[in-house]
Structure 1
Amino acid sequence: METREDLINISKTIFYSTVFNETLSDPKRKYVYYDVAIELPPKIVSDGMWGNNTHGSLPTNSTMPVLELQILTIFIITQCFHTILKRLGFPYLISQVLAGLVLGPSLNIEALKKHKNLLFPYGSEDLLSLVSAYGYALFLFLNGVKMDFSMIIRTGKKAWTIALCSLLVPTCLGLFIFYHFMDYWKDKLGEFEGEKLPVVVIAHSGCSFPVMASLLSDLEILNSELGRLALSAGLVMDVLNSIGSGLGTSIVSSLKTDSSDHDPNKGVALATFSVLKFVGFLVLVILTRPAMNWFVRKTPEGRPVKKIYTYLVMFMAFFLGLIGMFSRQSVLAGFLIFGLVVPEGPPLGSELIKQLDLFATWFLLPIFVTSCAMKVDISRHIDSKLILVMVGIIVAVHLLKILITVGICCYCKIPKTDGLCLALMLSCKGVVDFCTLVFLHDAMILSREQLTIMAISVLMLGSIAPIGVKAIYDPSRKYAGYQKRNILNLKPNSELKVVACVHKPFHIGSMKNALEICCPTSSNPLVVHVLHLMELIGRSSPIFISHRLQERVGSGHFNYSEDVIVAFDLFEHDYAGNVSVSTYTAVSPSRFMHDDVCYLALDKLASIIILPFHLKWTEDGIVESTDDNIRTLNSKVLEKAPCSVGILVSRGSSISSYDKPIRPIAMIFLGGSDDREALCLAKRTIKEGANTLIVYHLVSSNNNEQTNWDLMLDDEVLKGVKGYYGHVENVTYEKVAIEDPSETTAFISEIANQHDFIIVGRRNGIKSSQTAALESWTEFPELGVIADLLASSDTNTKASILVVQQQQQMHKSRAHHT
């Protein structure tokens, strides 16, 4: 039989421990007493292979090797789970928690106990949690930095109503039931578990804004209409829940401190004083805002802030976290509240996220979540009554939230499926909720059994919400082409509505030239909606600004799109009476920008969207820069746009219409819907003799590729340039016989430098003998074969090229999705 000394020294690790006297265990409070021994001074680093037999051969006897081995093991197990689960749509949190369950007491396999004791000796989990807790504190701080707190003021009545009803109705109803029948619950479940049931109601009634923002980002609906509504409602719920929890924590802590003193007046006075301290802490945090605004003002526009400023902000974060603890709040609350005060976005907020996000969110935070999950023991026996009651509470709370949310959405004439998706989003749980449960258990507010049940509920809700929303909600369905919105179907002498997108300052000139080509006149007016697209950095919520409405967004003094506004206001002034310009700014993640573009085009009933190409050329015809984000955006807009789309390729020609009154424009026509749309646009360029137009009609003796119906439609559109309705002086129609791709390439090279502006159709998916062999050599499929030849570095031209794709009809969109 093993002696006490044998048990203590059975694993040579940092701490030597064993349960030495079961009679000292307290079965009522479920405490277990340990006999712990530690060597002083403790060894931090192993002596390595050259050490003696006691220490050199046992790296687990030193703190740093044990910590490194724990982190390595956690990441290996987490990635193994995530490699499988991400294909099924499960979030990263599930893999982190499962890793903790494997390494903790939940996986109760006798053969693994010895190895677990070596890897996680008694007390080492505290060191791991302490190190990784810095990551969680920084995670909350960064989420506070990303959060635009002024958004809660601009939130509409719809979001406020949904948030208040979804939060307050389940909370108030649940608290009334459990406090009214408190004796009954204590009798059935025991005094401790019965008293803590209201905590279960409050925990599941609320919603965490960081979890909501992360969910919407993963689902790629962050700046969709439903995503914006969910983000606004989630922010209101989180703020209200945080304020209530903060004040409640402060008051309860004061009352517990005075539990030995039976003077109720003194208890109330201490509670009031504690609340005043909390308010004073908030005032102290707010007073740091002017200093950070000074950091922003001292930073030149477009430049990152100095390192010393970010260091000072981090010092203030740790200092105010400490002050928050003295105000009877947790250190984490201090970090989060201070993060809300930091000016979001560039330059300060974006620089903090750039420096800390990788280390905190993607390195330390997963370790912290796994270390929290190691405290959960799902193998532990749980009373069936407790399971039944808690599961009933959780199901009832979320069913009530779903019914309330769907009911309000139906009243606001929001589709029921969208209301159900919104309810699932507001019920989603994530990393913040899981870690909060573990903190409540550590503070002895939740028993281990209650922690286990609620942890499982977080995992289930965190999985059901993203999978359910992804299955039900399709944000692109509203862009489907039920109505014809293109240039071909415009009535004669009607206004042309264009959404013109701008990313960089050098896009302004080329976009103005393309709009001038449209030849706005009193009989053919031009309505332009200019959308300046900016990447979202240092914020969690996207921004959409209408500058005509003079919207004020955010709490900073950042001037959005000033150069774009001035340039296009001058353009409107130059064509007074013929052009109407509205300017907008959309600040969103690059992978979601297409939603802003498509939504604006849908809302404004635009006939065409014009996008800049992702390459920039020098005056010598050399590619100066490329932007893959713009290219990805263009491809997504081509796929989902609710109207026709044009991609503008500027090869260096920046001559304005005022410098060159009559401009030679070419249109290359092969046939098909895209070419017919492009030709209709080309016809608008010759109104009132503003430009000269040459239409090159490339024909082949083999016309089997096109149906008779397509040939008839092509011929009908070409009648206007063939002189069928009378000769037009500034239009030339030229029929060119092209039989094979080599002749096509030679022809393009010949005419490429004879025109300032060339309009072509994309002709996506159309097979032709003139271009078939060239498709495999196409470098930019989004341009089509002809435009790709014109944009090639082998082609000598300085002309601007506009590639046109006609609106994709509904049956094509459905075929693509299936």
Structure 2
Amino acid sequence: MSISSNYTLFHSVTRLNHTSYKVCFDAPPHIVSDGLWGGKENGRTPIKSFFPMFELQILIIFVLTQVCTILLKPLKLPQFIIQMIAGLIIGVTFEIKPLEPYMTILFPYGTHDTISAISSIGFVLFVFINGVQMDFSMITRTGNKAWTISVVGLVMPLVIGLIPIILFPGRLERLENANGHGIVVALITHSMSSFAVIASLLSELQIQNSEIGRLALSSALVSDILRITITTNLVVMGNPNMKMISRNLASLFALAIFIPLICRPIMFWIIKHTPEGRPVKDGYIYVIISMVFALGVLSVKIDQEFVLGAFILGLSVPEGPPLGSALVKKLQFFGITLFLPIFVTTSVLKADFTMNFSSYVMVSTGIVVFVTHLIKITVCFITALSCKMPVTDALCLSLILNTKGVVEIGIFNALFDNDIINGQTYGVMIISVMFIASIVHWSVKLLYDPSRKYAGYQKRNIMGLKRSSDLRILIALQKQNHISAAIDFLDLCCPTQESPITVDVLHVIELVGRALPVFIPHCLQRQASGSASHKSYSDDVILAFDIYEHDNENAVSINTYTAISPANLMFEDVCHLALDKVASIIILPFHIRWSADGVVESDDKKILRALNQKVLEIAPCSVGILVTRINLIPKATPTTSITSEYSTTRLAVIYLGGCDDDDEILCLAKRAMNNPRINLVVYHLVSKDCIKELEDLMVNSDGLLQEMKNAEGVRYQQIFTKEGSETACFLREVVNEHDYFIVGRRHGISSPQTDGLSEWSEFPELGVIGDFLAAPDLNSSASIMVVQQQISRKKELNGWIL
């Protein structure tokens, strides 16, 4: 193959042999041009300058990646696979004769190394960010199940794969001469799991918060640390000079020990000198980023990969806010959004896909990859089953731990650049990554549905409770101003020694700057620490509810928890805890909070509204959404009497009848009427055209409505309305007469009393009546509890009803 200097960045190109060329270029080289016409005399045209060509190539890769994303969206492929496909397309166009001249102009000889070197910054930052997000201390707290699965899944494929290598060394030597260490590389790399790759897969599938997701991340954390330890030591031992082995080994251990010992205290000092609630100073961030590349250079000096120093430094950074989250936020765009896709695409461009399917390269490497994954899937599956996991979950876990991704691409790219594997072996490895990642992604998405455990038939609601049963409530909070509203609702439930309640309080916090979701039971945390002074993310929540439990001794039992998870997966923590604690109702704060004068104090659509909507959809029990305006419920005790010195709360129940939600609010109202300082009014809205249905309702309502109607201290009032406009007029009349409303959500149920109101509904999660009462134009100071009884769902999966 001859190369014309006109299609390169160089003045002249002379061929020396089949693969080597002698080039001539200016020193320093042309970085920028003088424009399309300004560089004719001095030669600094865009086609002969590095920076304009680099920008053009980035633009081509970006456009092609976006086009592939749109066209391949129905296949639901991982994002990095689409970037790899873009690289394949660019590589194939070089082989098409009519397009070859144009591709030679767009990707001239001499630019591949430039764009690859610059884009490698993206891979380094990707490894560093994942190191920051890893909580290394979790490795000491990981359970035996995760350790067993990760160690067995790593050791068994290596041991089984090494047996034929030891028994037939001559055959291995011939194969290695043919494909350049492809068999050993395939065996080692495909036996291991990468934390960053598995975390990315679980994030795309949105299951990192599920039970299998947490177990997979814990196993991957152990496996990744073992992988780094094995590979770095193998690189050191690969040097034939014993003196160099000793030097590099000592330097490696010094790097692994002194970076955490020196850098981690410095970073804690940075956190200590950052005021609470304020961002970390940019100067500190830039110093840490500079250390990433300095340690990378140091890693190369001891014959290790550039990314090793970045990874160790990332592990030394305290995960989460303020420092970890600041680093992730600062590097996310340039590291992962911009440079990493270019790195993946250019890595695929290097591969040689002109393979002979009958060659030793294709057959031997392909067989090793297939057998290694088959062994790893089998041993992980059997180990998971021995840990008493369900068959489907065990299969999904074994598939997840076998996935491949960007980290493996970076490893194969480095091995190819260092001439450890040849172009054809590199091509096989790249194809194996694409196939394995796609198969795992599709298989897990098909097999695993985390919401299936909520699709049961067991009734968990207030109406289904026996008289002797205590009421179990789960309260989910996010902000401090949710605490007082939640305590007011507990007072509304009127806990007494004869009718106690058990409350599980879950403080949900958005996962930022870390990869592992965290779930903290504070009762166990306090027992483990032996002191109430143990620092917690939820100190204010714990203190407030401890005081409330103390003030209502023997009437209220409270347990507090903290869940740190991605915003789009917080519902998993809420629903799982409700299922585990057999809660009868989940109480959620509404995403908008109004002050008494109608001014919006906070509005959190991104987290709270998404959480509420998802919990309403899959909750394993009843759900209540609490719209808070002002806290007016007086604190009740079992010995309180009605006297003028105590204020009362005017509670209203809006009852339409004909659905389970309305029966649930009557059950809640029954508990509230036991509080002597609550004046309860039940408004029964009846359609003027449905008098006969009203009579049937009074007969067949299981005594709930009749009991409320005849209860002492409860005012029952029938309101006849013809349509939604009359209902709206009535609600406007009474809205300022009450401090608290309890209404049913009645989602998907139409009735004459609400005809026309749904067209003006802004928040469907509140139902028609709740949405109307929450409207700011009513100028009301009343809080609203919107209740949805547990939805019985039949969930079909793979043709079977679960």
Q: Distance in 2 between matches of 1:707 and 1:199?
A: 77
Question: How far off is 1:42 after superposition?
Answer: 2.3
1:475 counterpart (437, 447, 450): 450
Contact kept? 1:526, 1:579, Cα under 8 Å:
yes
For residue 703 of structure 2, what is the aligned residue in structure 1? Answer: 716
Q: Distance in 2 between matches of 1:55 and 1:712?
A: 98
Q: Distance in 2 between matches of 1:645 and 1:710?
A: 24
Question: How far off is 1:126 after superposition?
Answer: 1.1
Contact kept? 1:101, 1:376, Cα under 8 Å:
no
Q: Distance in 2 between matches of 1:656 and 1:313?
A: 53
Corresponding position: 1:272 with 2:246 = yes
For residue 629 of structure 2, what is the aligned residue in structure 1? Answer: 651
2:524 counterpart (528, 535, 549): 549
Contact kept? 2:633, 2:649, Cα under 8 Å:
no
One-letter amino acid of the counterpart of residue 326, structure 2: E
Corresponding position: 1:213 with 2:199 = yes
Deviations, residues 42-90 of structure 1 (Å, cap 9, x unaligned):
2222211451535689421111110110100010111111112232110
1:145 counterpart (109, 132, 149): 132
2:185 counterpart (199, 202, 207): 199
Counterparts of 1:65-80 in structure 2, within 5 Å, are 65-80=52-67
1:247 counterpart (233, 239, 245): 233
For residue 29 of structure 1, what is the aligned residue in structure 2? Answer: none
Deviations, residues 86-128 of structure 1 (Å, cap 9, x unaligned):
3211011111111212223675111222122211222211111
Corresponding position: 1:662 with 2:637 = no
For residue 176 of structure 1, what is the aligned residue in structure 2? Answer: 163
SS in 2 for 1:541: coil
1:640 counterpart (618, 628, 632): 618
Contact kept? 1:601, 1:643, Cα under 8 Å:
yes
Distance 1:811 1:719, change over 3 A: farther
One-letter amino acid of the counterpart of residue 8, structure 1: S
Contact kept? 1:530, 1:581, Cα under 8 Å:
yes
Corresponding position: 1:375 with 2:350 = yes
Contact kept? 2:128, 2:313, Cα under 8 Å:
yes
Contact kept? 2:5, 2:13, Cα under 8 Å:
no
Contact kept? 1:757, 1:800, Cα under 8 Å:
yes
For residue 561 of structure 1, what is the aligned residue in structure 2? Answer: 538
Moved more, 68-77 or 543-552: 543-552
One-letter amino acid of the counterpart of residue 445, structure 2: K
Moved more, 387-396 or 484-493: 387-396
For residue 261 of structure 1, what is the aligned residue in structure 2? Answer: none
Question: How far off is 1:620 after superposition?
Answer: 1.2
For residue 397 of structure 1, what is the aligned residue in structure 2? Answer: 372
Consecutive unaligned residues of structure 1, counting only runs of 5 or more, are 26-31, 259-266
One-letter amino acid of the counterpart of residue 646, structure 1: G
For residue 227 of structure 1, what is the aligned residue in structure 2? Answer: 213
Q: Distance in 2 between matches of 1:573 and 1:348?
A: 37
Q: Distance in 2 between matches of 1:407 and 1:634?
A: 38
One-letter amino acid of the counterpart of residue 577, structure 1: N
Distance 1:66 1:426, change over 3 A: same
Question: How far off is 1:711 after superposition?
Answer: 7.0
Distance 1:285 1:322, change over 3 A: same
Corresponding position: 1:618 with 2:595 = yes
SS in 2 for 1:538: coil
Distance 1:737 1:304, change over 3 A: same
Q: Distance in 2 between matches of 1:371 and 1:654?
A: 64
Contact kept? 2:698, 2:706, Cα under 8 Å:
no
Corresponding position: 1:64 with 2:51 = yes
Corresponding position: 1:285 with 2:259 = yes
One-letter amino acid of the counterpart of residue 631, structure 1: R
For residue 28 of structure 1, what is the aligned residue in structure 2? Answer: none
Contact kept? 1:481, 1:807, Cα under 8 Å:
no
Distance 1:443 1:812, change over 3 A: closer
Question: How far off is 1:15 after superposition?
Answer: 2.1
1:425 counterpart (400, 403, 421): 400
Q: Distance in 1 between matches of 2:94 and 2:111?
A: 19
Could you state the TM-score of these two structures normalised by the residue count of structure 1? 0.92
Q: Distance in 2 between matches of 1:41 and 1:772?
A: 78
Q: Distance in 2 between matches of 1:692 and 1:561?
A: 34
Contact kept? 2:150, 2:219, Cα under 8 Å:
yes
SS in 1 for 2:24: strand
For residue 796 of structure 1, what is the aligned residue in structure 2? Answer: 779
* Percent of aligned positions that are identical: 45
Contact kept? 1:705, 1:767, Cα under 8 Å:
no
Question: How far off is 1:708 after superposition?
Answer: 10
2:25 counterpart (38, 55, 64): 38
SS in 2 for 1:747: helix
Counterparts of 1:269-418 in structure 2, within 5 Å, are 269-286=243-260, 287-381=262-356, 383-418=358-393
Distance 1:813 1:169, change over 3 A: closer
Deviations, residues 378-427 of structure 1 (Å, cap 9, x unaligned):
13445433322222222211111222122122222211111111111011
Q: Distance in 1 between matches of 2:455 and 2:724?
A: 35
Consecutive unaligned residues of structure 2, counting only runs of 5 or more, are 637-644
Distance 1:813 1:452, change over 3 A: closer
2:99 counterpart (107, 112, 119): 112
Deviations, residues 418-472 of structure 1 (Å, cap 9, x unaligned):
1111111011111111121111111111121111111101000111111110111
Distance 1:179 1:197, change over 3 A: farther
Counterparts of 1:19-30 in structure 2, within 5 Å, are 20-21=15-16, 24-25=17-18
Q: Distance in 2 between matches of 1:55 and 1:769?
A: 83
Corresponding position: 1:8 with 2:10 = no
SS in 2 for 1:810: coil
1:686 counterpart (665, 669, 673): 673
Deviations, residues 180-205 of structure 1 (Å, cap 9, x unaligned):
21211333x35253744121111101
Deviations, residues 535-577 of structure 1 (Å, cap 9, x unaligned):
0010011110000111789xxx963101000001011011011
Q: Distance in 1 between matches of 2:610 and 2:188?
A: 43
Contact kept? 1:106, 1:379, Cα under 8 Å:
no
Distance 1:704 1:223, change over 3 A: farther
Contact kept? 1:531, 1:584, Cα under 8 Å:
yes
Corresponding position: 1:700 with 2:700 = no
Q: Distance in 2 between matches of 1:420 and 1:119?
A: 46
1:738 counterpart (721, 739, 754): 721
Distance 1:714 1:562, change over 3 A: same
Deviations, residues 649-687 of structure 1 (Å, cap 9, x unaligned):
012235542695532211110011101111101111112
Question: How far off is 1:710 after superposition?
Answer: 7.1
Contact kept? 1:281, 1:327, Cα under 8 Å:
no
1:524 counterpart (494, 499, 519): 499
SS in 1 for 2:631: coil
Deviations, residues 477-525 of structure 1 (Å, cap 9, x unaligned):
1011321100000011421100001111111111110111100011110
One-letter amino acid of the counterpart of residue 789, structure 1: F
For residue 766 of structure 2, what is the aligned residue in structure 1? Answer: 783
Contact kept? 1:621, 1:652, Cα under 8 Å:
no
One-letter amino acid of the counterpart of residue 279, structure 1: F
For residue 126 of structure 1, what is the aligned residue in structure 2? Answer: 113
For residue 747 of structure 1, what is the aligned residue in structure 2? Answer: 730
Question: How far off is 1:618 after superposition?
Answer: 2.3
Contact kept? 1:498, 1:609, Cα under 8 Å:
yes
Question: How far off is 1:283 after superposition?
Answer: 2.0
Q: Distance in 2 between matches of 1:542 and 1:562?
A: 19
One-letter amino acid of the counterpart of residue 669, structure 1: Y
